[in-house]
Amino acid sequence: MASKAVYSHRDPMLKKRDDFEDMLEERRNSSDLRYALRCYTPVLYKGLTPCKASELKRMVLQSDQLRYVINQVCKETDMTTDEVAGEAAAILEEMAHRLQLSTVRFFAFTLTKVFKTLFRSICVNEEGIQRLQQAIHNHPVVLLPSHRSYMDFLLMSYILYTYDLALPVIAAGMDFMGMKVVGEMLRMSGAFFIRRSFGGDKLYWAVFSEYVKIMVKTGYAPLEFFLEGTRSRTAKSLTPKLGLLNIVMDPFLKGEVFDVSLVPVSISYERTLEEALYARELLGIPKPKESTSGLFKARKILSEDYGSIHVYFGQPVSVRSLAESRVNRSQFNLIPRHIPMRPSEEILSFVNDSAYRLVRAQEENMVLKPWVLLAFVLLQNQADGQSRGTALDELTEQAAWLRDLSRQYGAFLHWPDHIPHSEVVASSLSLHRGLVRISEGRVQLALEQVGGQQGPGETHSAITPEEELLSKAVVILSCVSYRNQALHIFIRPALLASAIHSAASNRKQEIYNRFSFLRNIFSNEFILCPGATLQDFEEACYLLLKTGTLQINQQEVLITERGHRTLAFLTSVLDPFLQGYQVVCRFLCEEEGLAEKQFIPGVRKFIIKHLLTGTVRYIEVLSSDLQKNALAALIRLGAVRKIKGGEEQGTLKLNKVMLSSLEDTLEGKLPTQKSVVARL
């Protein structure tokens, strides 16, 4: 580690962000039908030759790449060319969109009614819309929204239609096709359907990748997909999936287009529609299958208030600029373009780094509402054993303190400054009244709700301790999903605070080693860019220096008198994750020959037992997301190995010495730390 104590990071407080406009305001004051049927004349890509969806399919089926793969499959399977080509046509028919303006107009009318009922406002940065319009005109555009709700892609198309922008074609999972009528309507509003995994299906991959690439090369329409691959059930950003990003960059890398514009979009919900559904999924209660009847049963949500949505269209990112001095494109001149190539290590590294950068851009423009900070405080107070809750004035003071800290760390916070803190807090508590209880001036999480509603003449059977715990866990995990929205603000300072807290001395090098260890362990849990450990350490040091929490010289890191409160808060941010990973290590140390599919049920049962006996403090460690991330980290570090073939396929081989060392190190038992750090 460099020993220079100079931190030249640009102050996040100086980051210029656009203002928002409420797009629902005009909708509330004008005819919905006139809006849906208005003249729609979007700006299109300057190089576009307009073509129908059917023409797009013809171009795919006649492409050199697909013909090459069809010939390869014929040789491998003894099928005729016509049979394989027919199979390719069937795959494309199942996959392709059929974008029709009439369906979009229907959705525009219907969604206006729904949005005006559900949301107080939908706020959009209009400067971002103007940048996007310019980008669509100049280059093929790829829209990359964050993904926290089913509402996301409907919302994106609605916004683009409202602002007279070209409608996107959207990559959607096959599960939506199970919704029959709605699935077909989504197809006619621009969705194309892809399998969640392709396995080794060479033909499917060729049809899919060629379909996407032709849309990019022709500038047919803005392409939209979710970098995270699926909805985040925890409101934390997920590790980006690289397949689609690799495909959309390919035409630039092969010199088939001059540039491609990647536009990160941050969608922030004040209250998430799927709040309790996600919590139950994380506890092992399967999600309902997508169906049209299920959609109609969900109509009861129309009587609820879901607050506001903020949608921030980020700066378009040029693939040409990203690739400059990173990628030698001459390598693509050596092989004909139509022959599929496995990406080189250089390309994979470039795409991976770009994906992390884009997800960070999404995070930085997420708008945090006051409830996010209140959830932080309420969860920490609950974990600290404040069974009577927190006095309302004390909660307000804690939230206001956290507001100031998060702003100093560069948070994009929507906290009205012209309204007294007490009113802001009261409004947030009211919106989320299903998760909190206020009694005698004290606020606490609504953990006493057990067993659901009791009908007339009904009696509840006795509730087991386990059922009561899981009922509480639904509320806890719902709150955690809001707290998680701000984790990207605090994670680097929190890693540093935990490193300081558990290091044996205040020596800077030792604290850096500890920081590096923790960052490595949690790199499946948070968006931490590969190879940026020193940069993250310096950023954390800068923020804690700037806020007067630390004094740092060449050799030592010292806590200031006023820094103890900040450091205590930051340490507590990471505590649930530290305990979760410790418990997973402990569980695996007690297991023999565990099958991978038994891991989640087994560790859940283990955690429930320890929560009921009080040896585990944080109910949120029941989250299957945390458990899966912990296992992924242990596999990456070599403490667990997956058997991939033979009789033991799917079995987890456990290095118990290493698991035990990791558990001790996570717990802060420092004698074993050096050996584990060295091993990692």
CA neighbours within 13 Å on the CB side: how many for 404?
8
Is the predicted pLDDT of residue 675 greater than 60, yes or no? no
> Which of 285-291's residues contact partners 24+ apart within 8 Å by CB, and which partners?
289/175, 289/178, 290/175, 290/176, 290/178, 290/179, 291/178, 291/179, 291/180
Angle between helices 624-637 and 508-521 (to 10 degrees): 110
pLDDT at res. 297: 52
Q: Which residue has the higher pLDDT, 560 or 325?
A: 560
Instruction: Measure the CA–CA gap between 605 and 49, rounded to whole angstroms.
Output: 59
Give per-residue pLDDT as tens, 603-631.
999 999 999 999 999 999 999 999 999 99
At which residue do the structure tokens 């993250």 appear? 536
What's the burial of 439, exposed, middle or buried (CB within 10 Å: 0-12/13-18/19+)?
exposed
Q: Which residue has the higher pLDDT, 285 or 299?
A: 285
Determine which of 91-100, 192-201, 515-524 has the lowest per-residue pLDDT on average. 192-201
pLDDT at res. 12: 44
pLDDT at res. 291: 52
Read off the tokens for 666: 């996570």
Is the predicted pLDDT of residue 296 greater than 60, yes or no? no
> Which whole number is the average pLDDT over 68-84?
92
Strand partners, 556: 507
Is the predicted pLDDT of residue 4 greater than 60, yes or no? no
> Which whole number is the average pLDDT over 23-41?
94
Is the predicted pLDDT of residue 10 greater than 50, yes or no? no
Is the predicted pLDDT of residue 95 greater than 70, yes or no? yes
> Which whole number is the average pLDDT over 207-213?
95
Tell how strand 169-173 and strand 223-224 pair up.
parallel
Instruction: Measure the CA–CA gap between 680 and 668, rounded to whole angstroms.
Output: 16
Is the predicted pLDDT of residue 88 greater than 60, yes or no? yes
CB atoms within 10 A of CB 380: 20
Contact 249, 319 (CB under 8 A): yes
pLDDT at res. 453: 43
Give per-residue pLDDT as tens, 558-578.
999 999 999 999 999 999 999
> Which whole number is the average pLDDT over 486-490?
97
Is the predicted pLDDT of residue 519 greater than 60, yes or no? yes
User: Which secondary-structure segment (H or E) carries 595?
Assistant: strand 594-595
Strand partners, 313: 265
Instruction: Measure the CA–CA gap between 192 and 153, rounded to whole angstroms.
Output: 12
Q: What strand order describes the sheet that includes 436-439?
A: 390-391, 442-445, 436-439
Contact 481, 372 (CB under 8 A): no
Q: What is the pTM of this model?
A: 0.91
- pLDDT confidence tier of residue 14, bands split at 50, 70 and 90: very low
Give per-residue pLDDT as tens, 190-204.
999 998 777 778 999
User: Which secondary-structure segment (H or E) carries 602?
Assistant: helix 599-613
Percentage, residues of the chain above pLDDT 70: 91
Instruction: Measure the CA–CA gap between 123 and 310, rounded to whole angstroms.
Output: 5
Give per-residue pLDDT as tens, 585-597.
999 999 987 999 9
Mean pLDDT value across the chain: 89
pLDDT at res. 181: 77
Task: Calculate ∠ Cα 284-287-291, nearest 5°.
Answer: 165
Task: Calculate ∠ Cα 185-89-207, nearest 5°.
Answer: 90
Instruction: Measure the CA–CA gap between 371 and 271, rounded to whole angstroms.
Output: 9
pLDDT at res. 343: 82
> Which whole number is the average pLDDT over 33-47?
92
pLDDT at res. 593: 78
Instruction: Measure the CA–CA gap between 417 and 28, rounded to whole angstroms.
Output: 26
Is the predicted pLDDT of residue 1 greater than 60, yes or no? no
pLDDT at res. 302: 73
Angle between helices 151-162 and 101-118 (to 10 degrees): 110
Is the predicted pLDDT of residue 331 greater than 80, yes or no? no
Percentage, residues of the chain above pLDDT 90: 76
Instruction: Measure the CA–CA gap between 318 and 315, rounded to whole angstroms.
Output: 9
Cα-flanking dihedrals φ and ψ of residue 479, to 5°? -65, -40
